[in-house]
Protein backbone atom coordinates (compact mmCIF):
# COMPACT_ATOMS: atom_id res chain seq x y z
CA UNK A 1 0.00 0.00 0.00
CA UNK A 2 1.29 3.43 -0.96
CA UNK A 3 -0.17 6.36 0.94
CA UNK A 4 0.36 9.73 -0.69
CA UNK A 5 1.09 12.37 1.90
CA UNK A 6 1.44 15.32 -0.48
CA UNK A 7 -0.26 18.08 1.43
CA UNK A 8 0.42 21.29 -0.47
CA UNK A 9 -2.23 23.84 -1.39
CA UNK A 10 -0.97 26.75 -3.47
CA UNK A 11 -2.35 29.50 -5.69
CA UNK A 12 -1.60 29.30 -9.42
CA UNK A 13 -3.86 32.30 -10.07
CA UNK A 14 -6.30 34.32 -7.98
CA UNK A 15 -9.01 31.59 -8.02
CA UNK A 16 -6.98 28.64 -9.32
CA UNK A 17 -5.43 26.24 -6.81
CA UNK A 18 -2.90 23.44 -7.15
CA UNK A 19 -3.80 20.81 -4.55
CA UNK A 20 -1.80 17.72 -3.61
CA UNK A 21 -3.58 14.36 -3.72
CA UNK A 22 -3.06 13.79 0.00
CA UNK A 23 -4.86 16.95 1.12
CA UNK A 24 -8.01 16.13 3.11
CA UNK A 25 -11.28 17.50 1.76
CA UNK A 26 -12.23 19.22 5.05
CA UNK A 27 -8.84 20.98 5.10
CA UNK A 28 -9.28 22.09 1.48
CA UNK A 29 -12.86 23.23 2.11
CA UNK A 30 -11.67 25.27 5.11
CA UNK A 31 -8.85 26.80 3.02
CA UNK A 32 -11.38 27.83 0.37
CA UNK A 33 -13.65 29.38 3.01
CA UNK A 34 -10.74 31.35 4.50
CA UNK A 35 -9.90 32.70 1.04
CA UNK A 36 -13.53 33.42 0.01
CA UNK A 37 -13.55 30.74 -2.70
CA UNK A 38 -16.87 29.03 -3.31
CA UNK A 39 -17.62 25.63 -4.83
CA UNK A 40 -16.39 23.15 -2.24
CA UNK A 41 -18.77 23.83 0.64
CA UNK A 42 -20.21 20.31 0.29
CA UNK A 43 -16.85 18.70 1.12
CA UNK A 44 -16.39 19.99 4.67
CA UNK A 45 -17.88 16.85 6.21
CA UNK A 46 -16.38 14.33 3.78
CA UNK A 47 -13.56 12.26 5.37
CA UNK A 48 -11.54 11.68 2.20
CA UNK A 49 -8.60 13.10 0.27
CA UNK A 50 -8.41 15.19 -2.88
CA UNK A 51 -6.92 12.26 -4.79
CA UNK A 52 -9.73 9.92 -3.82
CA UNK A 53 -12.34 12.58 -4.56
CA UNK A 54 -10.97 13.11 -8.09
CA UNK A 55 -10.66 9.35 -8.63
CA UNK A 56 -14.31 8.69 -7.77
CA UNK A 57 -15.69 12.10 -8.82
CA UNK A 58 -16.98 12.61 -5.29
CA UNK A 59 -19.77 15.04 -4.66
CA UNK A 60 -22.85 15.92 -2.65
CA UNK A 61 -25.87 18.24 -2.73
CA UNK A 62 -25.77 18.43 -6.54
CA UNK A 63 -22.09 19.40 -6.86
CA UNK A 64 -19.08 17.23 -7.73
CA UNK A 65 -15.31 17.41 -8.20
CA UNK A 66 -15.61 17.43 -11.99
CA UNK A 67 -17.22 20.89 -11.75
CA UNK A 68 -13.95 22.34 -10.39
CA UNK A 69 -11.16 20.48 -12.19
CA UNK A 70 -9.01 22.13 -14.86
CA UNK A 71 -6.26 19.50 -14.98
CA UNK A 72 -4.93 16.50 -13.09
CA UNK A 73 -1.30 15.51 -12.62
CA UNK A 74 -0.85 11.73 -12.69
CA UNK A 75 1.86 9.09 -12.59
CA UNK A 76 1.66 6.59 -15.46
CA UNK A 77 4.27 3.91 -16.08
CA UNK A 78 6.75 5.73 -13.88
CA UNK A 79 6.33 9.09 -15.65
CA UNK A 80 4.45 12.22 -14.68
CA UNK A 81 1.74 13.42 -17.03
CA UNK A 82 -0.81 16.25 -16.94
CA UNK A 83 -4.33 15.61 -18.22
CA UNK A 84 -6.70 18.44 -19.09
CA UNK A 85 -10.25 17.98 -17.86
CA UNK A 86 -11.50 17.37 -21.40
CA UNK A 87 -9.17 14.35 -21.62
CA UNK A 88 -10.78 12.78 -18.54
CA UNK A 89 -14.08 10.96 -18.69
CA UNK A 90 -15.98 12.04 -15.59
CA UNK A 91 -19.47 10.78 -14.85
CA UNK A 92 -21.58 10.08 -11.78
CA UNK A 93 -19.21 8.87 -9.04
CA UNK A 94 -16.61 7.59 -11.48
CA UNK A 95 -13.79 8.68 -13.79
CA UNK A 96 -11.23 7.46 -16.30
CA UNK A 97 -8.89 6.80 -13.39
CA UNK A 98 -10.96 3.86 -12.18
CA UNK A 99 -10.23 2.14 -15.49
CA UNK A 100 -6.62 3.02 -16.30
CA UNK A 101 -4.97 2.67 -12.90
CA UNK A 102 -3.18 6.03 -13.00
CA UNK A 103 -1.88 7.40 -9.70
CA UNK A 104 -3.27 10.88 -9.04
CA UNK A 105 -0.59 13.24 -7.71
CA UNK A 106 -2.35 16.61 -7.71
CA UNK A 107 -5.08 18.63 -9.40
CA UNK A 108 -5.63 22.22 -10.49
CA UNK A 109 -9.03 23.41 -9.30
CA UNK A 110 -10.84 26.52 -10.55
CA UNK A 111 -13.09 28.30 -8.05
CA UNK A 112 -15.19 31.45 -8.05
CA UNK A 113 -14.84 34.29 -5.59
CA UNK A 114 -17.69 34.43 -3.15
CA UNK A 115 -18.99 36.12 -0.05
CA UNK A 116 -17.28 34.61 2.99
CA UNK A 117 -20.37 34.80 5.18
CA UNK A 118 -22.54 33.05 2.56
CA UNK A 119 -19.89 30.35 2.10
CA UNK A 120 -19.85 29.77 5.86
CA UNK A 121 -23.65 29.59 5.98
CA UNK A 122 -23.68 26.99 3.22
CA UNK A 123 -21.00 24.90 4.97
CA UNK A 124 -22.95 24.98 8.22
CA UNK A 125 -26.18 24.07 6.44
CA UNK A 126 -24.57 21.03 4.78
CA UNK A 127 -22.93 19.92 8.02
CA UNK A 128 -26.28 20.17 9.78
CA UNK A 129 -27.90 18.02 7.09
CA UNK A 130 -25.14 15.42 7.42
CA UNK A 131 -25.43 15.35 11.20
CA UNK A 132 -29.18 14.96 10.94
CA UNK A 133 -29.30 12.30 8.22
CA UNK A 134 -26.04 10.36 8.31
CA UNK A 135 -24.83 7.93 11.00
CA UNK A 136 -21.82 9.99 12.03
CA UNK A 137 -21.55 8.29 15.43
CA UNK A 138 -20.47 4.86 14.11
CA UNK A 139 -17.74 3.68 11.70
CA UNK A 140 -18.81 3.16 8.08
CA UNK A 141 -17.45 3.38 4.55
CA UNK A 142 -19.94 6.10 3.63
CA UNK A 143 -22.54 5.58 0.93
CA UNK A 144 -22.40 1.96 -0.19
CA UNK A 145 -24.35 2.19 -3.46
CA UNK A 146 -24.68 4.76 -6.22
CA UNK A 147 -28.11 6.32 -6.65
CA UNK A 148 -29.62 4.54 -9.71
CA UNK A 149 -30.08 6.85 -12.69
CA UNK A 150 -33.33 5.34 -13.88
CA UNK A 151 -37.13 5.51 -13.77
CA UNK A 152 -39.51 3.04 -12.13
CA UNK A 153 -42.78 3.34 -14.01
CA UNK A 154 -44.35 0.06 -12.92
CA UNK A 155 -47.84 1.31 -11.91
CA UNK A 156 -48.08 -1.10 -8.98
CA UNK A 157 -44.78 0.16 -7.54
CA UNK A 158 -45.71 3.81 -8.10
CA UNK A 159 -49.02 3.25 -6.31
CA UNK A 160 -47.27 1.46 -3.43
CA UNK A 161 -44.43 4.01 -3.20
CA UNK A 162 -45.81 7.45 -4.29
CA UNK A 163 -42.42 9.20 -3.91
CA UNK A 164 -41.28 7.33 -7.02
CA UNK A 165 -43.22 9.90 -9.08
CA UNK A 166 -40.87 12.65 -7.89
CA UNK A 167 -37.78 10.48 -8.38
CA UNK A 168 -38.94 9.51 -11.89
CA UNK A 169 -39.13 13.18 -12.88
CA UNK A 170 -35.49 13.59 -11.85
CA UNK A 171 -34.55 10.20 -13.34
CA UNK A 172 -32.51 9.38 -10.25
CA UNK A 173 -33.67 7.32 -7.27
CA UNK A 174 -31.91 7.45 -3.89
CA UNK A 175 -30.40 4.05 -3.16
CA UNK A 176 -31.20 4.55 0.52
CA UNK A 177 -34.90 4.88 -0.31
CA UNK A 178 -34.93 1.59 -2.24
CA UNK A 179 -33.05 -0.20 0.55
CA UNK A 180 -35.40 1.19 3.20
CA UNK A 181 -38.53 0.26 1.25
CA UNK A 182 -37.15 -3.22 0.70
CA UNK A 183 -37.43 -3.54 4.49
CA UNK A 184 -33.71 -3.61 5.23
CA UNK A 185 -33.22 -0.69 7.63
CA UNK A 186 -31.67 -2.14 10.77
CA UNK A 187 -30.85 -5.49 9.13
CA UNK A 188 -27.74 -7.06 10.65
CA UNK A 189 -25.29 -9.77 9.75
CA UNK A 190 -22.93 -10.34 12.64
CA UNK A 191 -21.87 -6.88 13.79
CA UNK A 192 -22.52 -5.21 10.43
CA UNK A 193 -25.80 -3.30 10.29
CA UNK A 194 -27.84 -1.32 7.77
CA UNK A 195 -28.09 2.06 9.47
CA UNK A 196 -31.50 2.96 10.84
CA UNK A 197 -30.62 6.61 10.18
CA UNK A 198 -29.71 6.23 6.49
CA UNK A 199 -30.17 2.89 4.75
CA UNK A 200 -27.34 3.45 2.25
CA UNK A 201 -24.81 3.25 5.10
CA UNK A 202 -23.59 0.02 6.66
CA UNK A 203 -22.28 0.73 10.14
CA UNK A 204 -19.96 -1.30 12.31
CA UNK A 205 -21.65 -2.05 15.63
CA UNK A 206 -18.30 -3.10 17.10
CA UNK A 207 -16.17 -5.92 15.74
CA UNK A 208 -17.74 -6.39 12.29
CA UNK A 209 -15.39 -7.94 9.73
CA UNK A 210 -15.25 -7.44 5.98
CA UNK A 211 -17.05 -10.71 5.23
CA UNK A 212 -20.06 -9.64 7.30
CA UNK A 213 -20.18 -6.29 5.51
CA UNK A 214 -19.89 -7.99 2.11
CA UNK A 215 -22.63 -10.49 2.95
CA UNK A 216 -24.90 -7.61 3.92
CA UNK A 217 -24.08 -5.76 0.68
CA UNK A 218 -24.92 -8.88 -1.34
CA UNK A 219 -28.18 -9.34 0.57
CA UNK A 220 -29.19 -5.73 -0.07
CA UNK A 221 -28.50 -6.17 -3.78
CA UNK A 222 -30.68 -9.28 -3.97
CA UNK A 223 -33.58 -7.81 -1.98
CA UNK A 224 -33.70 -4.52 -3.92
CA UNK A 225 -33.57 -6.47 -7.18
CA UNK A 226 -36.45 -8.65 -6.03
CA UNK A 227 -38.60 -5.75 -4.82
CA UNK A 228 -37.86 -3.14 -7.52
CA UNK A 229 -36.04 -4.98 -10.34
CA UNK A 230 -33.15 -2.52 -9.95
CA UNK A 231 -29.51 -3.59 -10.01
CA UNK A 232 -27.72 -1.49 -7.40
CA UNK A 233 -24.13 -0.60 -8.29
CA UNK A 234 -21.59 -0.15 -5.51
CA UNK A 235 -20.02 3.22 -4.88
CA UNK A 236 -17.39 1.61 -2.67
CA UNK A 237 -14.82 -0.72 -4.25
CA UNK A 238 -13.47 -4.09 -3.20
CA UNK A 239 -9.69 -4.52 -3.06
29 is catalytic: no
Which residue in 187, 183, 182, 149 sits closest to 167, CA to CA?
149
Phi-psi region of 69 (alpha: psi -120 to 50; beta: other; left: phi over 0): beta
For residues 113 and 37, give the distance between their C-alpha atoms in angstroms, rounded to a whole number: 5
Which residue in 197, 238, 193 sits closest to 220, CA to CA?
193
DSSP one-letter code for 170 = H
Catalytic residue among 15, 71, 93, 180: 93
Q: Sign (positive/negative) of CA torsion 11, 17, 18, 21?
A: positive
Catalytic residue among 143, 180, 195, 212: 143
SS3 59: strand
Instruction: Give the burial class of 141: count Cβ atoms within 10 A of its Cβ; 0-12 exposed, 13-18 middle, 19 or more buried.
Output: middle
222 is catalytic: no
Measure Cα distances from 76 to 83, 89, 103, 191, 196 in Å.
11, 17, 7, 40, 42
Which residue in 54, 67, 9, 49 sits closest to 33, CA to CA?
9
For residues 131 and 202, give the distance between their C-alpha atoms in angstroms, rounded to a whole number: 16
Which residues participate in catalysis according to the annotation?
A: 93, 143, 235
Amino acid sequence: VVKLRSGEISFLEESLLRVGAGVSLPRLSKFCFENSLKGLEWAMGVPGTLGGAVYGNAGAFGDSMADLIEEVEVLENGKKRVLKVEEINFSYRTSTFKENGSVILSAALRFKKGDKKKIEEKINKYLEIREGNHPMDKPSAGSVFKNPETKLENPELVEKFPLLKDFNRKEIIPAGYLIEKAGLKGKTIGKAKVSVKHANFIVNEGGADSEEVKELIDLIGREVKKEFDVDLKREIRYI
